[in-house]
Amino acid sequence: MKSDKKMRGLLVKLAQQEGFKGKAEQTALIQTHGKLGVSRVILLGLGARVKFTPEVLRLALGRGIKAANRLRAKTAVIQVPGVRELDASLQAIVEGAVLGSYRYDKWRTTNRDEKSAPRVDKVQLLLPDGVKKDKSMDATVAIAKAIGDAACFARDLVNEPAGTMTPTILAEQAKAMAKDAGLGLHVFDRKKIEELKMGMFLGVARGSVEEPKFIHLSYTPADPAHAKRAPVALVGKAITFDSGGLSLKPSEGMLEMKTDMAGSAAVLGAMKVIAKLKPPFPVHGFMGACENMPSGNAYRLGDVLVSRLGKTVEITNTDAEGRLVLGDVLAYANELKPAAIIDLATLTGACIVALGPWVAGAFGEDDQLMWSVLEAARASGEEVWRLPLTDTLKDVLKSEIADMKNAGDRNGGSITAAHFLKEFVGDTPWVHLDIAGPSNVSKEKGYMSRGGTGFGVRTLVEYIRRRTAELETAVDEPAES
């Protein structure tokens, strides 16, 4: 280690005295006493080599940047470890640094000294011995920074109080982002939503004084041939506040319900990066934004709502509202005849019970698309686990007065919710990601801060990157004679 040589073995000696053994999640701060070009060295444990992944590096860099910010450092010099897959490591380092530096303090007026204190605003990367910088590394660093910034953008949206992140404000955020990124945008108001016959969406929105908004973002390739390809549709749940409606949540359960639009935040963040990637196929982002509130005009238990597809739905729980809005939006997205639909939603507490707070559940019957999404999640460092769409639970959605109910019993709640959504995508390849757990966390971990995490941005971007590579490889391969 160059740094240790310059300090004549003192760095390793001091680390040993501090009990630093390089274990995962270990951090040690060492004073250099002027023997290096930096005043302090932060050692980050990466754990056993056999368990090393880019995500381990990403989490470590998050811890490191947080430690540097606590020291009020303005510049961080990062030694890139000599590991295989250097591009993946560079991406993880940059993403970890960007995500680790995030802090949501918009509404804090106390501790002004802390808020205005110097923070890391410059990062230098030191490549391993024998490795020379090239243009591909610059491209990797640039896209990693774009992904990190997009996830932080999504975090801001999720962390914003519901009173200042209404459907209208969310639509304004989408408009500003679309203009900056060069994306197409349509925002439909209540009248247009009525014309689209989205009866489930309108039913949920009915109880709030806030106007619903249907947001449609679009990326279209410049090449006319590519523009004609089947698109990918990304759908995000956008309930900007969920009181539970007349099936009112308890106060404790309602406190975090400003985060019930985390799926839409992930789609918005991903579209921001997709505009830079310029994939050779269209990509659309859809969000049905509204509040779920109790009032004299709110939809009631026992009501029957008519969906865009004409399916009728008996309401047995007004707190199972996300699937109603998503159903109408999925039906609309499906009319574009997409090659794939991926939706993200903070849909069920049952998924948190099943998988805990750090892992999202994945549902779908198209094995090829499911594998692609799971591989994208694994590569991006976001944990996603496939759960079954077993037909044995489908019957709990049968209604005696309508085509189906919007909710069954507590058992298998995340599975029955996925079954409800499947009714609105037909045979189109589709994956539903229930991100109720990892979209918002209560404690810090690596690059994670308390609150919104931006979960899903990295998975969606990685999926689009991999699909782009597959299409480009298929075009480059010579045709069989």
- CA dihedral of residues 377, 363, 415, 441 (deg, nearest 10): 20
Exposure of 179 in the CB half-sphere (CA atoms within 13 A): 6
Query: Which two tokens mark 357?
Result: 């707070």
> Which element (helix H / strand E) includes 217?
strand 213-219
On whether the CB atoms of residues 362 and 373 are closer than 8 A, the answer is yes
| Cα–Cα distance measured from residue 460 to residue 458, given in angstroms and rounded to the nearest whole number | 6
Q: Which residue has the tokens 């709030």?
A: 208
| Cα–Cα distance measured from residue 319 to residue 293, given in angstroms and rounded to the nearest whole number | 10
| Cα–Cα distance measured from residue 68 to residue 124, given in angstroms and rounded to the nearest whole number | 13
Opening angle at CA 408, ends 195 and 436, nearest 5: 75
C-alpha 340: how far from chain center: 18
On whether the CB atoms of residues 17 and 42 are closer than 8 A, the answer is no
| Cα–Cα distance measured from residue 158 to residue 152, given in angstroms and rounded to the nearest whole number | 10
The residues assigned a catalytic role are 249, 323
* DSSP-H helix ranges across 305-440: 322-334, 349-355, 367-380, 413-422
Residues in the chain: 481
Residues β-bridged to residue 239: 290
On whether the CB atoms of residues 285 and 216 are closer than 8 A, the answer is yes
Strand order in the sheet with 312-314: 304-306, 312-314, 404-405
Q: What is the DSSP string of 83-136?
A: -S-HHHHHHHHHHHHHHHT----TT--S-HHHHHS----EEEEEPPTTPPP-HH
On whether the CB atoms of residues 339 and 232 are closer than 8 A, the answer is yes
Q: Which residue has the tokens 């808020």?
A: 115
| Cα–Cα distance measured from residue 232 to residue 385, given in angstroms and rounded to the nearest whole number | 22
Three-class HEC string of 4-52 = HHHCCCHHHHHHHHCCCCCCCCCEEEEECCCCCCCCEEEEECCCCHHHC
